[in-house]
Amino acid sequence: MKVDDKLLRRSLNAAIDFSVIKKDGFKDKIRKFDESIDLVINIKDVNLNDPKNRIDKEIILSNEVIVKDKPNICVIASDEILLEAKKIGVDTLDSDGLIKLNNEEKKYKKKFAKKYEFFVVEDKMMRDVARYLARFLGPLGKMPKPFPTGYGIISSPDDLKVAFDRYKKVIRVQMKKQPIIFIKIGKKSMEVDKLFENMKTVVNFIGDQMPHKFNNFKSMYLKSTMGKPVNVTEDFLKSIEV
């Protein structure tokens, strides 16, 4: 598939334009919430039965994907790290809470695993997290990973501060059972240049994971949360006169 900066930028602008509700005879209407801008990449000619071809990684984008809110993380820690997490204002779980969670029903633990986008764990508690939660976090790709494959295992309050800021820019890239990758590259309120930089980082990263680079891209789409999808092709852009 053809992938170049000009095509990507024009497609991004079109996706942002499509987020506006337009109706003949009425004033253009912008939705009252800050929509996400999402990138969808369909992959071809990759055998996902081979584990080597699957993707499950956290990557740092050039710019934050979280504009106003806190990262959706749960910190599992003790002592000073736990206190720092509470000070920051994110959800926490201590040793007793982890044991209590383990005694809950399976349905509750599944719900807990789905509630958070990322889990940040103090290194000395990783053994218990693996023991109690691996069967629920693992299938979702949410088990905390050490650097360089992830950023979720920490050992000090300073590490937590770094992780908190970092997770404003971190996204999870996954392709396991289906040859499709769905990623949020930012918010509509962001500067277009920053959205573009995030998109380029994602596209280049995924291309580098493929055996034949961008030739393994079957198709790409960009869309806002509620907007119409934009097919990232010259033909589509011409059809909408962009």
74-86 pLDDT, tens digit per residue, is 999 999 999 999 9
- For residues 102-123, give the mean pLDDT: 95
The pLDDT score that the predictor gives to residue 31 is 84
- For residues 79-104, give the mean pLDDT: 95
How far CA 63 is from CA of 7, 39, 133, in Å, comes to 21, 15, 31
Give start-end residues of each CATH 3.30.190.20 domain in the chain.
5-65+170-239
Q: Rounded CA gap, 118 and 152, in Å?
A: 8
Q: Rounded CA gap, 11 and 7, in Å?
A: 6
Point out the least confidently predicted range of 2-16, 19-33, 40-54, 120-134: 19-33
Confidence of residue 12 (pLDDT cuts 50, 70, 90): very high
Q: Which CATH number fits domain 5-65+170-239: 3.30.190.20, 3.40.47.10, 3.40.720.10, 3.40.50.12160?
A: 3.30.190.20
Point out the least confidently predicted range of 21-25, 98-102, 231-235: 21-25
Task: Record the tokens describing residue 235, joined without a space.
Answer: 């033909």
* Residues in Cβ contact with 103 at an 8 Å cutoff, skipping those fewer than 6 apart: none
Q: Rounded CA gap, 33 and 5, in Å?
A: 28
The pLDDT score that the predictor gives to residue 68 is 73
170-206 pLDDT, tens digit per residue, is 999 999 999 999 999 999 999 999 999 999 999 999 9
User: Hey, what CATH topology would domain 73-166 get?
Assistant: Rossmann fold (3.40.50)
Q: What is the largest CA-CA distance in the chain?
A: 63
Task: Record the tokens describing residue 8, joined without a space.
Answer: 């990507």
Could you tell me if 60 and 169 are in contact, meaning their C-beta atoms sit under 8 angstroms apart? yes
Could you tell me if 197 and 157 are in contact, meaning their C-beta atoms sit under 8 angstroms apart? no
Q: Rounded CA gap, 208 and 130, in Å?
A: 30
- For residues 87-104, give the mean pLDDT: 95
- pTM for the full model? 0.86
14-31 pLDDT, tens digit per residue, is 999 998 877 777 777 788
Give start-end residues of each CATH 3.40.50.790 domain in the chain.
73-166
